Amino acid sequence: ANIMKLGDGLFLECCREVARDFDEIDYNELIVDNAAMQLVMRPEQFDILLMPNLYGDIISDLAAGLVGGLGIVPGANMGDEHAVFEAVHGSAPDIAGRGIANPTALLQSAVLMLLHLGEEAAALRIEHALEAVYSEGKHLTRDLGGSATTQEFTDAVIAKL
């Protein structure tokens, strides 16, 4: 907490308190600008990033850029009793109904939901189908350098199931 000492300090205090109850989980602290640099230079060092909303929004967009953009990144908001799964890019009203949206983020969100529900076999089927479509490269949407429509991409994934 070097700039926003009160808000960040309270967040860090809460994290440290919870971390003490879970010795088996590695807990490290980074200042957000250093975390951004580390994420770009050595992303493999991270499993989970826990941060306040403002930093999380910025860092999650940076991380999405590292793997191809918001169109392919799933989202999950987990609570003790409930979970919500969504494409992180939102509803994308500017391209709605035009057949050009990449459905990967939504499909990956479904994978996360299935894993959360204990349906690993179904999650893996979807994940493997997506991997096959990406590997073939014949049915990629425009954001990935292809020309497939949303329907064509989806049909290709379904065919791989």
- 12-33 pLDDT, tens digit each: 999 999 999 999 999 999 999 9
Mean pLDDT, range 124-148, rounded to an integer: 97
Average pLDDT, the chain: 93
Share of the chain above pLDDT 90, in %: 80
Share of the chain above pLDDT 70, in %: 98
Name the strand (E) or helix (H) holding 110.
Answer: helix 104-116
Give dist(CA 7, CA 65) in Å, integer: 27
Looking at per-residue pLDDT, the higher value among 90 and 105 belongs to: 105
Residue 50 backbone zone (phi > 0: left; psi -120 to 50: alpha; other: beta): beta
The DSSP secondary-structure symbol of 3 reads: S
Its sign, for the CA torsion 86, 28, 68, 160, is: negative
CA distances from 158 to 16, 65, 85 (A): 45, 26, 20
- 36-80 pLDDT, tens digit each: 999 999 999 999 999 998 999 999 999 999 998 888 999 999 899
Spell out the domain ranges in the chain: 1-67, 70-161
The pLDDT value recorded for residue 2 is 66
Split at pLDDT 50, 70, 90, the class of 1 is low
Compute the half-sphere exposure of residue 60: CA atoms within 13 Å on the CB side of its CA: 20
pTM for this one? Answer: 0.81
